């Protein structure tokens, strides 16, 4: 079988953060699959077909791309950020695991990209400078109780927390609940960073404290970083503050 | 003050994963600072000075770069992977926080990159496909008890775990201890991925199970991913296996 499927990370959105490896993989493809707004970021190329699908259709999108590759085509699946972080690489693996046995013979590759938490962290300093975790706040794919247990475990053990998929029209209350829960573990002054569309014209970054943060300032595309008790804010004259988590925990040597 | 300091992520090592934004920031610099082997990855440019330092000198390297920028130079600090993940961005913020007040007026920026866990994950499929955490195993900067508490919390709550700085000549036993600890929480068959030098000639990837993994197969530059109880391995005829963590946790809707 000569077909191939590459799952490609576009990074946070600006062409300036697309790696040469990802650009080359896009250029090689006969067909592009992906969520419409991500496909729109890829410059048109003649002879290359485009197959846009909706946000919530990851499974069927992955299966369609695998079927297409199994016919011998070079197929690219585009993903925002990094395809391995709450994105299309796992959806493709799921389909290979449970789908047509012939798909296991396909040349499947994943091209990494800069994921949202790294882009947002870079904009404010180094909030992920020590141990951290990434949690999807969506309870479409897991029970809300699991989300709560992970928030408790992470905050209780001193991890900085990056939240993906914080809020949507169908999930309006989860982010507020998450902040409530985190206030039981963390100081009121814990820095919270909201970031969206890094490197794009509609980029927006906000720095708040846990006691005063307003969940309604977030939307579907916002990435949220909640500090640990060690995370610090450096005020700067005439410049936006820096937020960072020191590399040292007291008692190290 | 007209000087500037950019802390730049080189990605996992191949020029193919250096973002255009990072390449442009390197090109603009009057002076490059960094750990020698990272500096060696940056092509020489005439008129640009180079200031290599040793692995364990992050604090003094950051201070030297800030002093240089404060003299009006455009300084680049190079970092492997992403500078915000167990790398130079936090070291620079620490120096600004405690150093010369004038450093707060400097133009300081961080240019993100593809961090090792994303590069290693991409090579094997999507092991970070659901909630995950990143832990530095170095007890130079924190007490070993904190590392253990975080391993317990992460494995107990179902996070996939990425381990940075797993082993060194001065820290020979920590990785074995970490595996022992994780075996108390996780099934013997839990997939463990070792990856180093992704995209470079000496790239090496290994897939093991938690009961059989050998810590001595790792070195300083190895990134380790330990699955959750849901992480799966897909065997493929004539191809290396895929390792992935499904997006679904039972009970989601």
Pair type for strands B239-244 and B232-236: antiparallel
Please provide residue B78's backbone torsions phi and psi, each rounded to the nearest 5 degrees. Answer: -95, 145
Q: Does one domain contain both B157 and B187? A: yes
- Please say which residue of B88, B114, B140 terminates a domain: B114
Which residues in chain B are closer than 8 Å to A90, comparing Cβ atoms?
Answer: 126, 129-130, 244-247
Contact residues, chain B, for A86 at CB < 8 Å: 129-130, 247
CA A63 to chain B, closest CA, distance in angstroms equals 15
ipTM for the assembly: 0.97
Report the alpha-carbon distance of residue A7 to residue A78 in Å, rounded.
6
Is the confidence at residue A1, as pLDDT, over 60? no
B39: CATH: 3.40.1010.10
Q: Are residues A162 and A236 in the same domain?
A: yes
Position B249 in a domain: no
Closest CA to B120 of B239, B236, B234, B11: B11
- Which residue among B86, B104, B236 sits closest to A234, beta carbon to beta carbon? B104
Query: Does a structural domain hold residue A249?
Result: no
Residue B223: which H helix or E strand, with range? Answer: strand B223-226
Residue-range definition of the domain harbouring residue A28? 4-114
Torsion of CA B104, B138, B141, A150, to 10 degrees: 80
How confident is the model over A60-87, as pLDDT tens digits? Answer: 999 999 999 999 999 999 999 999 999 9
Query: Looking at the structure, do residues B129 and B207 belong to the same domain, yes or no?
Result: yes
- Residue A39: inside a domain, yes or no? yes
Q: Same domain for B81 and B141? A: no
| B142 domain-assigned | yes
Residues B121 and B220 in one domain: yes
Question: CB-CB: which of A24, A126, A253 is closest to B140?
Answer: A253
Domain boundary residue, one of A87, A114, A141: A114
- Indicate yes or no: CB of A143 within 8 angstroms of CB of B108: no
Rounded to a whole number, what is the distance in Å from the CA of B90 to chain A's nearest CA?
5
Cα–Cα distance measured from residue A248 to residue B88, given in angstroms and rounded to the nearest whole number:
13
Give A146-162 pLDDT, tens digit per residue. 999 999 999 999 999 99
Neighbouring CB atoms inside 10 A of A45's CB total 11
Rounded to the nearest angstrom, the minimum Cα separation between B173 and chain A is 16
Contacts of A235 in chain B (CB under 8 A): 104
Question: Does the pLDDT value for residue A120 go beyond 60?
Answer: yes
Q: What sign results for the dihedral spanned by CA atoms A12, A161, B230, B164?
A: positive
10 Å CB burial of residue B54 (0-12, 13-18, 19+) is: exposed
Structure tokens at A100: 């047509």
Same domain, B91 and B147: no
Put simply, the answer to whether A121 touches B84 (Cβ < 8 Å) is yes
**pLDDT score of A140:** 86
Cβ separation B249–A14 shorter than 8 A: no
Q: How many CB atoms lie within 10 A of CB A85?
A: 29
Last residue of a domain, one of A83, A114, A145: A114
**Count of domains for chain B:** 2
Query: Which residues on B lie below 8 Å from A94 (Cβ)?
Result: 244, 246-247
Domain co-membership, A27 together with A140: no
Could you tell me if A203 and A110 lie in one domain? no
| Residue A253 reports pLDDT greater than 70 | no
Place of tokens 């820290």: B171
Domain of residue B140, CATH code: 3.30.950.10
Which residues does A73 contact at the CB level (< 8 Å), separation at least 6? A3, A30, A31
Q: Are B157 and A153 in contact (CB under 8 A)?
A: yes
Please name the residue of chain A whose CA is at the shortest distance from the CA of residue B23. A16
pLDDT tens for chain B, residues 1 to 253? 579 999 999 999 999 999 999 999 999 999 999 999 999 999 999 999 999 998 778 999 999 999 999 999 999 999 999 999 999 999 999 999 999 999 999 999 999 999 999 999 999 999 999 999 999 999 888 999 999 999 999 999 999 999 999 999 999 999 999 999 999 999 999 999 999 999 999 999 999 999 999 999 999 999 999 999 999 999 999 999 999 999 988 875 5
What strands lie across the sheet with B4-9, from one edge to the other?
B49-53, B31-35, B74-79, B4-9, B107-111
The answer to whether residue B251 sits within a structural domain is no
Q: Do A114 and B242 touch (CB under 8 A)?
A: no
φ, ψ of residue A155 in degrees (nearest 5): -70, -40
Say which residues have a Cβ less than 8 Å from residue A98's Cβ, sequence separation at least 6.
Answer: none
């Amino acid at each position: 079988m000569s077909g191939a499927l590459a799952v490609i990370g576009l990074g946070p959105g600006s062409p300036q953060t697309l790696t040469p490896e990802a650009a080359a993989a896009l250029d090689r493809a006969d067909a592009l699959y992906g969520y419409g707004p991500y496909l729109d970021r890829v410059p048109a190329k003649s002879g290359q077909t485009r197959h846009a699908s909706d946000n919530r259709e990851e499974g069927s999108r992955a299966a369609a791309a695998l079927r297409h590759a199994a016919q011998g085509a070079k197929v690219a699946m585009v993903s925002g950020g990094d395809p391995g972080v709450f994105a299309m690489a796992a959806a493709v693996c799921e389909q290979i695991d449970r789908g047509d046995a012939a798909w296991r013979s396909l040349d499947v590759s994943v091209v990494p990209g800069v994921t949202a938490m790294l882009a947002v962290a870079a904009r404010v300093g180094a909030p992920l400078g020590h141990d951290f975790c990434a949690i999807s706040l969506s309870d479409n794919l897991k029970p809300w109780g699991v989300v709560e247990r992970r928030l408790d475990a992470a905050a209780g053990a001193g991890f900085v927390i990056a939240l993906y998929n914080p809020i949507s029209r169908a999930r309006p209350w989860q982010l507020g609940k998450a902040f409530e829960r985190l206030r039981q573990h963390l100081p009121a002054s814990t820095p919270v960073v909201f970031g969206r569309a890094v490197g794009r014209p509609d980029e927006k970054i906000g720095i708040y404290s846990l006691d005063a943060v307003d969940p309604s300032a977030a939307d579907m595309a916002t990435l949220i970083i909640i500090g640990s008790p060690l995370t610090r804010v450096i005020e700067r004259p005439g410049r936006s503050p820096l937020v960072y988590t020191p590399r040292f925990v007291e008692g190290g040597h």
